Copies of this chain bind each other. A is one copy, B any other.
């Protein structure tokens, strides 16, 4: 079993959380920030991230603007108003999940 299989289903709330904290981010930046924050422990693959971002855009969770920086394009993602509300819900769910995991893995501590 490799490390990365664990986060299946968590990538979406992770991305939403980062967008909430940082306001405006582009894809590559998200991959780097996750790597940094987790000291290299979590590495999100581009094959997972980009399709997810596109889905979130389709669903109206995020909106995008493309910016040209040094002759290269960056696609910036921002949470929409509705996306912010959905993020709050997703965060509650993620935290509940993390608490549940804790109850199982560390049954002594309450």
Contacts and interface: CB of A to CB of B under 8 A. Distances in A.
A6 B37 contact: no
B34 A97 contact: no
B7 A38 contact: no
A21 interface: yes
Specify how many copies of this chain sit in the oligomer.
2
Interface residues of A, number: 36
A8 interface: yes
Contact of A6 (B9, B18, B34, B38): B9
Contacts of A102: 98
Interface of A: 1, 3, 5-10, 12-14, 17-18, 21, 34, 37-39, 41-42, 90-91, 93-105, 107
